[in-house]
Amino acid sequence: MTTTKPLSDLTIAQQAKTLPIKEIAAKIGLQEDDLDLYGKYKAKLSYDVLDRVKTKQDGKLVLVTAINPTPAGEGKSTVTVGLGQALNQLNKQAIVCLREPSLGPTMGLKGGAAGGGFSQVLPMEDINLHFTGDMHAITSAHNTISAMIDNHLHQGNDLGIDVRRIVWKRVLDLNDRALRHVTVGLGGAAHGVPREEGFDITVASEIMAILCLADSLKDLEDRIKRIVVAYDHQQEPITAEQIGAAGAATLLLKEAFKPNLVQTIEQTPALVHGGPFANIAHGCNSLIATKTALKLGEYVVTEAGFGADLGAEKFCHIKSRVGELNPDAVVLVATVRALKMHGGVSKDQLHIENVGAVGKGMKLLAKHIDTMKKLGLPTVVALNRFNSDTEEEIATVLDWCKAHDIRASLSEVWANGGMGGQQLAEAVIDAVESNESKLSPLYELTDSIEQKIKTIAREVYGAADVTFTAKAKKQMLEIQQKGWADLPICMAKTPFSLSDDPSKFGYQQGFTITVRELKPSVGAGFLVALTGNVLTMPGLPKHPAALNMGIDESGKAIGLF
């Protein structure tokens, strides 16, 4: 992207010129009174705003997704931010909608989740640390339910909860593997009822998924009430409402539910709100942020987690269903490096030109374009440029797109901000204005659970078949008996492959997906189908990023990426 040693994201961010958030708000028609300020550069939108804009016409919705991620990196968030900036340069009032990052990966190794280079959201230190406290509010709400469950056991267990069947783990917003499997309630009768327990990272909490799918505070509370936290000895579900914790949890979330307004490095308004896992949840920023942005901007650019097989599929079948959304265009991010990896090149050979491998990798890109077409959505390919890319490699991608009548453009937004995304923005505007989009879900909610999963596996992944373990079959039956079968499916599959085998890069055919387990998220409103081990509490690496962090003499952050 640059030929000299690039500046770090933190350095670029700290040198950037930011406007007071009041001025950013003014760009989209909001007054200071509409904001709850969090310092000078962050604000939450008041509930008054959300009510007031409801009758306005919606802007255009652009969904940014990607090919299956690789260790080479795709830069999906960076393209999302850069595209927003580019649209603004073309005089389309654009708003960027992103997920908010979790502290766990920040302290681990992931790097910031606020874009990169000259396409970041700011203030990046705040966004990557506590931001406006949403994660902490979710942690508190979640663990209040946990404390109420264990208190219920301790005080006599009137509901007859089976301590072996409590399905509500605790959460912390940290990478902390030692908390994955714990026992609690030890130390004698004064200290609770002993039982097996575990901690997930906060973004894996069903509360996070709920916050991102609720369309009002009332709906938020209703969904929390429906959360199944345990089963009794007759295997009947016990809900958060029965535990008496739904009201307190909602109260703890009343500020967190308000969307957060920040700005990009080019002062494009950005709503950064909510960030559920993209495997056991649906992986998109909050519905309320997206819907509010659609009322306030001409163009809303948003992203979904992982690749198009997971994030975009769930955006269409879960978030869009609940929120009655219809993306006007999809941007599919790819890089030459990632295409080469999907074409069979190992990570240490990526710097060597390999046009053949790029061509081979294109089959995967083509598959995702085809899936978007099935869903009724026009696709623009964004080739996110790295400085090791050769002209011929780039041409391989762009020429293929041209030959197949697919809109495509280079993206140089990391190095050049919005200026590096002008052509991409023009292609996106063309796609949107062509009015080609009409979202048509691939399955109906009334299809059987088995049918819904098979449809996703065949149509989206290209699988030949799906097998269900005995456990999964039993669980499907139970879910049906409890009346939850009509919920949409949330697939938990490796993001690295179309198949359920993370080692199988690139385009795959003829494979079978194995569904090992089903987990109803009744509050969030979907059925999670697990195809492999999903780690819902990450660990820290041998040399965690936290080792380098600190403050300088003036109190500024250091070592934060």
- Near a second copy in 164-183, by CB under 8 A: 172-183
Is residue 73 part of an annotated ligand binding site?
yes
Cα separation, 216 vs 250, whole angstroms: 11
Tokens of 375: 């869903």
Task: Please report whether residue 148 would count as binding a second copy according to CB under 8 A.
Answer: yes
Task: Please report whether residue 127 would count as binding a second copy according to CB under 8 A.
Answer: no
Is residue 418 part of an annotated ligand binding site?
no
Sign of CA dihedral 162, 198, 519, 242: positive
Dihedral in degrees, nearest 10, Cα atoms 463, 61, 136, 165: -30
Cα separation, 34 vs 45, whole angstroms: 6
Cα separation, 527 vs 531, whole angstroms: 13
Cα separation, 325 vs 328, whole angstroms: 9
Bridge partners (DSSP) of residue 527 are 489, 520
Peptide bond into 194 cis (omega under 30): no
Strand bridging mode 260-264 / 119-122: antiparallel
**Coil, helix or strand for 208?**
helix
CB-CB neighbours of 301 under 10 Å:
31
Is residue 8 part of an annotated ligand binding site?
no
Pattern 384-423, binding to a second copy, x per CB under 8 A? ----------------------------------------
**Coil, helix or strand for 512?**
strand
Stretch that binds a second copy, among 312-320, 387-395, 413-421, 549-557 (CB under 8 A): 549-557
* Nearer of residues 39 and 356 to a second copy, judged by Cβ: 39
Nearest approach, Cβ of residue 71 and a second copy (Å) = 20
Q: Rule CB under 8 A: choose which of 78, 143, 263, 379 binds a second copy.
A: 143
Is residue 198 part of an annotated ligand binding site?
no
Best CA proximity match to 142, nearest among 253, 218, 303: 253
Task: Please report whether residue 38 would count as binding a second copy according to CB under 8 A.
Answer: yes
Stretch that binds a second copy, among 190-198, 320-328, 460-468, 499-507 (CB under 8 A): 190-198
Tokens of 443: 């399955």
Which residues does the annotation mark as catalytic?
76, 78, 99, 110, 278, 306, 386, 414
Q: Which residues contact 311 (CB under 8 A, 6 or more apart)?
A: 65, 66, 278, 283, 284, 303, 304, 305
Nearest approach, Cβ of residue 245 and a second copy (Å) = 6
Cα separation, 552 vs 61, whole angstroms: 41
Tokens of 472: 């999964």
Task: Please report whether residue 200 would count as binding a second copy according to CB under 8 A.
Answer: no
Q: Rule CB under 8 A: choose which of 34, 221, 309, 313 binds a second copy.
A: 221
Nearest approach, Cβ of residue 205 and a second copy (Å) = 14
Stretch that binds a second copy, among 92-100, 213-221, 273-281, 439-447 (CB under 8 A): 213-221
Of residues 226-255, those binding a second copy (CB under 8 A): 244-248, 250-252, 254-255
Is residue 133 part of an annotated ligand binding site?
no
Is residue 495 part of an annotated ligand binding site?
no
Of residues 255-294, those binding a second copy (CB under 8 A): 255
Nearest approach, Cβ of residue 19 and a second copy (Å) = 15
Q: Rule CB under 8 A: choose which of 11, 23, 164, 186 binds a second copy.
A: 186
Task: Please report whether residue 52 would count as binding a second copy according to CB under 8 A.
Answer: no
Is residue 327 part of an annotated ligand binding site?
no
**Coil, helix or strand for 465?**
strand
**Count of positions (residues) in the chain:** 561
Query: What do you get for the CA distance between the two ends of the chain, in Å?
Result: 18
* Nearer of residues 6 and 192 to a second copy, judged by Cβ: 192
Q: Rule CB under 8 A: choose which of 6, 8, 16, 36 binds a second copy.
A: 36
* Nearer of residues 221 and 389 to a second copy, judged by Cβ: 221
Task: Please report whether residue 54 would count as binding a second copy according to CB under 8 A.
Answer: no
Of residues 62-121, those binding a second copy (CB under 8 A): 103, 107
Is residue 70 part of an annotated ligand binding site?
yes
Answer whether 21's CB lies under 8 Å from 269's CB. no
Nearest approach, Cβ of residue 260 and a second copy (Å) = 13
Task: Please report whether residue 344 would count as binding a second copy according to CB under 8 A.
Answer: no
Longest Cα–Cα distance of the chain, Å, equals 73
Q: Rule CB under 8 A: choose which of 26, 184, 355, 398 binds a second copy.
A: 184
Q: Rule CB under 8 A: choose which of 352, 445, 477, 551 binds a second copy.
A: 551
Cα separation, 411 vs 79, whole angstroms: 7
Known binding residues for ATP = 70-77
Known binding residues = 70-77
